Structure 1
Amino acid sequence: MKTFKFQSFVLVLIAFVLGFSEFLIVGILDDLSTQFNVPVATVGYLVTAFAIVYAISTPFITILIGRFNLFWDLMATMTVFTVGNILSFLAPNFFTLALSRVITAMVAGVSISLGLTFAGYIAPMSKRGWLLSWVFSGFSIASVVGVPLGTWISTRFGWRISFLTVIVVSTATMIMIFLSLPKDFKQRKSTVSGQLALLKNHKIQLGMLLPMFNLAAIYVFYTYLRPIITTQLHFSIPMLTILLSVFGISNIIGNRASGKLSEGPGMKRMPAVFIAQFLLMMLMPFAFNFSWPGAILLTLVIFTMPLLNSPIQLFFLQIAEREYPQSIVLASSLNSIFSNFGIALGSATGGVIVSTLSLNGVGPGGAVYAVVSLGLVLWLNYLTSKGLSTSSSNL
């Protein structure tokens, strides 16, 4: 049991350091804008670029390495991830910083996919939902501890030291991976076409779109969280750090609730979640006229962000284990891949709205994607209830 608990901690730590690196940009947008003399909206597109590279590279790399030893795959991707952050730390100009983010993004998705695959491998069936929700919580903990810490370090000591912190945590994580995770873990060998057979399943095809539009709805406003807090809601820089921590705590609570959902009603409860997202986002233009009501509304929307995670992850894994055992790693990667497509879509949409309208427009912009998510989950639940679960040829 002690071994399982330590292994679980290491898997959560992997998610934490990946989330710390990915989300750090949100907290230091203004500092990078000043350092490199580029508009805040341009720096915001680093979030978009990271997500696009993450989403496009992850399935290709995952399929290529899936035939090898998964432990050494994880060690290799974490090494490249660390090197990418070292390049960010040393970046002399904005182009080099952007290049470093591309390198980091190329392996971040593969690393968390492998981490989730290990979670499914080491956890007993009764603990799978629990461990998956905790691994996803690693990203939320990064919001609570990592992003506010990185923001505070950036304002006090400079943004480079924020990246140095990521490097130190990443190196420590690799040491613990080496000491704790099983070194003989492989999935069933298969050809590339054999692994891709998973994607012919129509419920998989439909399910992949859910995390994309869920995160697109959130990231229309989340990418610009710092200017929303300081410019729109008129909070001070010290309050910015506090509020980022509060939002992160809300996200952690949402992840824990996601684990409970996966053990209970699962996907059947998601329509209510997306309806709530839509209503809250439509209220943003009004709530943003008042500091504390605006902050409370943001806290509630951020709580809904991770509720889909564990139910959709178990949904993908159960289909893969039952019908496509050669595609377990690919199935583990789908949530993170399409979440990052959603981050790219949402942050790009937010950039257009902020540039052409104002920060007041990000709520209704996100609400449009929440409606799309609602339609998708209703359709998926209908297919599930009718037992239409094998391939697109069924329709």
Structure 2
Amino acid sequence: MSKLHNLRWQVFVLVLTSFALGFSEFVIVGILNDIARQLHTSVVSVGSLVTWFALIYALSTPIIATALGHFNLYKSITSLMLVFIVGNLLSAVANSFGLLAISRVITALVSGVLVSIAMTFANYIAPMDKRPRLVAGIYSGFSIASVLGVPVGTWVSVQFGWHQTFWLIVILSIVTLILMFICLPRDIVPPKSNLKAQLSLLTDKKILVGMWLPMLNLAAIYPLYTYLRPILSSQLHFSAGGVTLILFLYGITSIVSNQISGVLAEHNGLRLMAPIYVGLIIMLLIFPLSFNWRLISVLLILMIGIVMYVVSSPIAIFYLDIAEQKYPQSILLASSINSIFSNFGIALGSATGSGVFQDKGLSAVASSGVLYAILAIAVVLIIVKLERIQK
């Protein structure tokens, strides 16, 4: 049993945690149509769950993370995982849109803090030279959720009903909780500090600028990602099997994206993000023009998937380095910034996609993210300038 308490098993549990969180958050994208049909509501209404989930996630995470900032990490992560299981259990038995919405609120309330605590564990247990790759590994759990969770969840929903998809998440989450009990160290407690001391992190100029980058990154991509299944089925006319396969391939690109992200984090990767976002802008603009050539459309979707998470590890390390050097009492809050503002970006991007979908149709959804990508370039350039000035 003692062999389970080594770094490899601890990392596995943290990655499995992020996988369960990503599975629960992203699966709505794959089962959007099925929920709308069974609950007799519109696809846009169900799509709004993506927006509200992300918004609640982003708003609740800093509050809860700050409140738990000096508590034992093991007790915090296991307690919140129990709440996460309850939220998904309610989704699994929901027979109305209202109950489903409530269940998603409960799940969203704890998801962001669970990510933050997993990142904080990584910061404490990983040797300094391995930290960028471990951070990328934790984020890869979300990508693996795209590879396996969303396509498998979509297939289960089509074959057996969307309730069974949430039962699958409940079982996975229980297994994860059991492994937490077995594997995670129980003696890690962040330094004690008052609320004002923890929030001092948010007065740092580089933090205030850098927090916008994960938001704008996902705001640029989520108009497309939120309505990816309707685009594939209604606009590009793929069969249910074809949609599942493309979602699987999209997930593969997300894993590639995270691996690239880990490499970039080891080589000051924020400096390389501006040209990457220029490429994203070009892809988003030409995507609506590719609908007559399905292969080109799919290739563009997969290339956008590669861009989706490349900023995650460099920006997470950016926050953690600042906290370690100047605000050590704010490590948990620093660990949460990426997930907080990523979900603001998800909320903004999915809301933008919903509005454009209603007003102009599916063909205009992808290009609605272009403005956010342009703003992301501006943020990257400001960060690079601030880094140069402070050196």
Instruction: Using the TM superposition, give the Cα deviation of residue 70 of structure 1 relative to its aligned residue in structure 2, in angstroms.
Output: 1.2
Aligned equivalents of 2:292 and 2:375: distance in 1? 27
Shift of 1:363: 2.2
Does the 8 A contact of 1:137 with 1:255 survive in 2? yes
Query: Which of residues 164, 185, 194 in structure 2 aligns to 1:161?
Result: 164
State the AA in 1 paired with 2:105: V
Tell me the residue number matched to 1:49.
Answer: 52
Confirm whether residue 319 of structure 1 aligns to residue 322 of structure 2: yes
Residues 235 and 291 in structure 1, CA contact (< 8 A), matched pair in contact too: no
1:342 aligns to 2:345 (yes or no): yes
Aligned counterpart, 2:312: 309
- Runs (4 or more) in structure 1 with deviation over 4 Å come to none
1:67 and 1:186 in contact (8 A); partners too? yes
Alignment of 1:164-203 (within 5 A): 164-203=167-206
Counterpart of 2:7 in structure 1: which amino acid? F
Please report how far the alpha carbon of residue 265 of structure 1 lies from its aligned counterpart in structure 2 after TM superposition.
Answer: 3.2
Q: What displacement does 1:362 show? A: 1.6
Q: Residue in 1 aligned with 2:22?
A: 19
- Letter of the 2:139 counterpart: F
User: Partners in 2 of 1:260 and 1:287 — Cα distance?
Assistant: 32
| Per-residue deviation, 1:99 | 0.4
User: Aligned letter for 2:136?
Assistant: S
* Number of the residue aligned with 2:129: 126
Question: Superposed, which structure 2 residues align to 1:61-72 within 5 Å?
Answer: 61-72=64-75
Which residue of structure 1 aligns with residue 10 of structure 2? 7
Tell me, in whole angstroms, the C-alpha distance in 2 between the residues paired with 1:292 and 1:235: 11
Conserved 8 A contact 1:283-1:363: no
Q: Distance in 2 between matches of 1:309 and 1:218?
A: 14
Matched letter for residue 336 of structure 2? S
1:233 counterpart = 2:236: yes
Give CA deviations for 1:70-127 in whole Å, capped at 9, x if unaligned. 1100011111000000000111200000000000000000001000110111110111
Instruction: Give the whole-Å Cα distance in 1 for the aligned partners of 2:343 and 2:268.
Output: 26
Residues 170-207 of structure 1, C-alpha deviation per residue, up to 9 Å, x if partnerless?
00001111111110111110001110000000100110
Q: Give the letter for the 2:80 counterpart.
A: T
Equivalent position of 1:331 in the other structure = 334
1:33 has 2:48 as partner: no
TM normalised by structure 2 equals 0.98
Q: CA deviation at 1:262?
A: 0.5
1:222 to 206, 209, 225: 225
List aligned pairs for 1:85-124, cutoff 5 A: 85-124=88-127
Give the 3-state SS of the residue equivalent to 2:189 in structure 1.
Answer: coil
Q: Retained in 2: the 8 A contact 1:84–1:101?
A: yes
Structure 1 residue 289: Cα displacement: 2.6
Distance of 2:170 and 2:299 partners within structure 1:
33
Q: Which residue of 2 aligns with 1:276?
A: 279
CA distance in 2, matches of 1:233, 1:12: 34
Specify the code of the residue in structure 1 equivalent to 2:132.
Answer: G
Partner of 2:374: 371
**Partners in 2 of 1:265 and 1:60 — Cα distance?**
30
Aligned to 1:243: 246
Q: CA deviation at 1:267?
A: 0.8
Equivalent in the alignment of 1:73: 76
Deviation at 1:220, TM superposition (A): 1.0
2-side partners of 1:50 and 1:41: how far apart?
Answer: 14
Q: CA deviation at 1:288?
A: 2.3
Which residue in the other structure is 1:392 paired with?
none
1:299-351 CA-partner distances (Å, limit 9, x unpaired): 00110010000000000000001100000000000000000000000000000
What secondary structure, in the 3-state scheme, does the structure 2 residue paired with 1:28 have?
A: helix
Task: Classify the secondary structure of the residue corresponding to 2:211.
Answer: helix
Counterpart of 1:82 (choices 71, 82, 85) is 85
- Letter paired with 1:383: L
Distance 2:346 2:197 in 1: 29
Q: 3-state DSSP class of the match of 1:188?
A: coil
User: Equivalent residue of 2:319, what SS?
Assistant: helix
Q: Give, as a single letter, the amino acid of the residue that structure 2 aligns with 1:171.
A: I
The CA deviation at 1:68 is: 1.2
Please tell me the residue identity of whatever aligns with 2:98: F
Assess if the C-alpha contact under 8 Å between 1:12 and 1:136 holds in 2.
yes
Matched letter for residue 96 of structure 1: L
* 1:141 is the counterpart of 2:154: no
RMSD after superposition: 1.0
* Native 8 Å contact 1:27 1:148 kept in 2: yes
CA offsets 1:265-290 (integer angstroms, 9 cap, x no match): 32111111111111111111111232
Q: Which residue of 1 aligns with 2:265?
A: 262
Identity of counterpart residues, as a percentage?
48
